[in-house]
Amino acid sequence: MKKFLIAMFCMLCVNAAAQVPYSFGSIIHKDQVNDSVLFFKYDVRRPGKTQYVAFDLVTRNHWKNNPTSHFAVVLQGAFLDPMPGIRGVGLAFGSFGSTCQGAVVEQFNNPVSFLMPETCRSIPLQDDKWYRVTVYASETQVDFYVLFEGRYYWARAPVNVATFGMQRSIAGGVVFNPSPSTIEVHNLIWGWF
């Protein structure tokens, strides 16, 4: 029995080690103007079918200086030829006119991307407040969760990323802001399962 328990424990350790997420730690974009890359990871290994990213977000003078700004979190991404271009699915967060103020699933198909308005979750856009953002993207659906001031906001949408090409291995975040602001991304992790 003891050998069986040790063997089971070792199997769990090996499986847990295979699932350990990649960690970027913290990224701070201070006084950024124009479009900026928040984070970017390219990994062709694809050790699973569902890709995820999670991070804590706080802004300083961002929504005050850029009330119509937004940022995008792209998963299951593939490069387009010719560059620069990317396809993928994920989360758009910010202001989108009358379509959405908060978080919404977006399909990125450069040069034309589209929001899925039925997934819009109205979330207050406030500086100096913390948001916990988690996004999962498989080949058939996207889920996002945003924790803000003790409340969870969640949505799911069906997608079809099989048309994006075989190297769907990009995780990235981009912010679109015309005026200076600071965006902090902390506890950033990503991985596959």
Number of domains in the chain: 1
Asked if residue 1 is part of any domain, the answer here is: no
Residue 34, domain member (yes or no): yes
The pLDDT of residue 2 is 37
Cα gap 189→20, rounded to integer Å: 10
Residue 2 is assigned to a structural domain of this protein: no
> Coil, strand or helix: which one is 64?
helix
**12, part of any domain:** no
Residue 165 lies in a domain: yes
- Domain of residue 186 covers 22-192
| pLDDT value for 191 | 86
pLDDT at 108: 84
The answer to whether position 26 is within a domain reads: yes
Q: Considering the entire predicted model, what is its pTM?
A: 0.81
Give the domain CATH number at 99. Answer: 2.60.120.200
Q: What is the pLDDT of residue 90?
A: 92
Is the alpha carbon torsion for 184, 93, 176, 161 positive or negative? positive
- Is residue 6 domain-resident? no
Give yes or no for a contact between 39 and 24, defined as CB atoms under 8 angstroms apart. yes
Question: How confident is the model at residue 93, as a pLDDT?
Answer: 94
d(CA 176, CA 34): 6
Residues of the chain with pLDDT under 50: 1-20
Q: Which residues pair with 182 in a beta bridge?
A: 60
